[in-house]
Amino acid sequence: MRIAVLHGPNLNLLGIREPALYGTTSLADIDAGLQRVGAELGVEVECGQWNGEGELVTAVQGLRGRADGALINAGAYSHTSLAIRDAFASVAVPYVEVHLTNIYAREPERRHSTLAAGARAVICGFGAAGYELALRGLVANLREA
């Protein structure tokens, strides 16, 4: 089984970007942790980060035939991007939406997710640990199917 992890804009700055809000764990640390959990679960994990919306759309389109599922933290694009949601619908790859913070406890413009309706699940508010929860949940869900 192969799981893709797509990180959106500004996540390359984790660990230094607003640490009081997003924590001090770097993106490299998150990816390394996902690799460890993937090995434990017997799945291949492939991680990437893109700042542009079009780049994320292209990355999602590239999952067709290459990934059994995906985790996505589309950052601010989660709240606005019909294009990313449509890309997932086009490739029919099941995904879990992940957010480091509890988006429902933040500014009003962050309390809606355009991606959530198509997601198998949404995990938010657990910081970097949310990625591991999402990976374990998605793998279990895919294996049940």
Active site residues: 22, 99
Order of strands, sheet of 121-124, starting from the edge strand that comes earlier in the sequence: 44-49, 2-7, 69-73, 95-99, 121-124
Instruction: Look at residue 109 and give its three-state secondary structure.
Output: helix
CA 128/CA 40 separation, integer angstroms: 18
| Residue 78 CB coordination number (10 Å) | 25
First to last CA, the chain: 13
